[in-house]
Amino acid sequence: SRPTLALIGATGAVGTVMRELVSTREDIWGEIRLVASARSAGKVLQVRGEDVVVQALAPEVFDGVDIAIFDVPDEVSAEWVPIAAERGAIAIDKSGTFRMEPDVPLVVPEVNPLDARDRPRNIISTPNCTTLSMMAAIGALHAEYTLKELVVASYQAVSGAGVAGPARLYDEIEALAGDRSVGQAAGDVRKALANKLDADSPFPAPIAFNVVPWAGSYKDGGWASEELKLRNESRKILGIPDLKVSATCVRVPVITTHSLAVHARFEREITVADAHRILEAAPTVVLMDDPANGVWPTPVDVVGTDPTYIGRIRQAVDFPNTLDMFVCGDNLRKGAALNAAEIAELVATEL
């Protein structure tokens, strides 16, 4: 019989995309259960064109579930993922809780699908959206040229912060619209926003008319958690424990689709033509690299689609064996829901 799937966190930003994906991808599922916090229980949501009543998170919701996909805050995953696994479900977890645990695989199906088979705790983690937004492309290049170093700057969309992110950006833009003098004197954007909006924002600075060099929580040494995730997760997914990685994560006023400027050094010389050949052959990567004709990826052209887009590929002039590139990926799709759906489909073939 067809496997039963449970979506935990079905009402969130990623949960909404998840419901759309399972409704539009090849339908391999039997029952699909929707689960959320008690606050959302009883809501009726559409999956595969049918009404499904959202159930409150409780141990019993996992009974009979083959695969449970979690997109919930870290502390909710920490408590509930092991309960799902104990009750016999394979848990695919989007939170940061288990990603770096040695007995939990961290999987990107294009890069390390076999790791999904070795899951002693019945838990598989899916990476952070910033790491995921580049991984299909970087993984393809690594498979042939062996990656040695990555220096990355991210340009992260506001929906990475959940449904409150886009809500805040739209509110700020609305509050500032119409005043063509704003944004020209230090502090005037903050002042204009303070007059019109409450201070409660998911971002630590105005996000309209601005870029914010901070994403995630504070970590030792002044690092932001997103920057360390990008380093540690890239090492684990690519299977290069000593990969040198340094990242700066920046939030930008884009609704959805993370972009990354990537400076990647390989073991041997790699030309732009080599990279084009590899990336053109990678099934989930779209090469958009014709700068003489203004062809490169941007978030507004990528949002809502599945592939990883790459362009602006250049051989670094002063750094041997090194490419500079610009990558874009929809942070809610490949960056979150799609990767989880792909892992679920991969694992379901074994059931």
Angle between helices 129-145 and 225-238 (to 10 degrees): 40
Q: What angle do CA 200, 202, 204 make, to 5 degrees?
A: 85
Give the β-pairing of 55-56 and 32-36.
parallel
Rule CB under 6 A: is residue 72 a binding residue for ligand 2RA?
no
Distance CA(41)–CA(79), nearest Å, equals 19
Interface positions, 304-343, toward ligand 2RA (CB under 6 A): 331
Which of these, 313, 257, 305, lies nearest to 280 by C-alpha position? 313
Q: Which is nearer to ligand 2RA, 323 or 340 (CB)?
A: 340
Given the rule CB under 6 A, which of 22-30, 63-71, 153-161, 193-201 is the region that contacts ligand 2RA? 153-161
* Distances in whole angstroms, Cα of residue 301 to Cα of each of 16, 249, 281: 21, 22, 21
Binding annotation for substrate? 156, 251
* Distances in whole angstroms, Cα of residue 175 to Cα of each of 158, 183, 188, 190: 17, 13, 12, 11
Active-site annotation holds for 258: yes
Write down the least CB distance from residue 156 to ligand 2RA, Å: 5
Active-site annotation holds for 249: no
Per-residue binding string, ligand 2RA, 203-242, x by CB under 6 A, is ------------x----------x----------------
Write down the least CB distance from residue 231 to ligand 2RA, Å: 14
Distance CA(166)–CA(202), nearest Å, equals 10
| Of 142, 258, 276, 328, catalytic | 258
Given the rule CB under 6 A, which of 25-33, 79-87, 125-133, 303-311 is the region that contacts ligand 2RA? 125-133
Write down the least CB distance from residue 330 to ligand 2RA, Å: 12
Q: Provide the 3-class DSSP secondary structure of residue 209.
A: coil
Rule CB under 6 A: is residue 256 a binding residue for ligand 2RA?
no
Write down the least CB distance from residue 145 to ligand 2RA, Å: 27
Contact (Cβ atoms closer than 8 angstroms) between residue 343 and residue 115 = no
Write down the least CB distance from residue 185 to ligand 2RA, Å: 29
Expressed in angstroms, the distance from the first to the final Cα of the chain is: 10
Rule CB under 6 A: is residue 129 a binding residue for ligand 2RA?
yes
How many residues form the binding site for ligand 2RA (CB under 6 A)? 9
Contact (Cβ atoms closer than 8 angstroms) between residue 133 and residue 153 = no
Q: What are the residues binding ligand 2RA (CB under 6 A)?
A: 128-130, 156, 160-161, 215, 226, 331
Any idea which residues carry the catalytic annotation? 129, 258
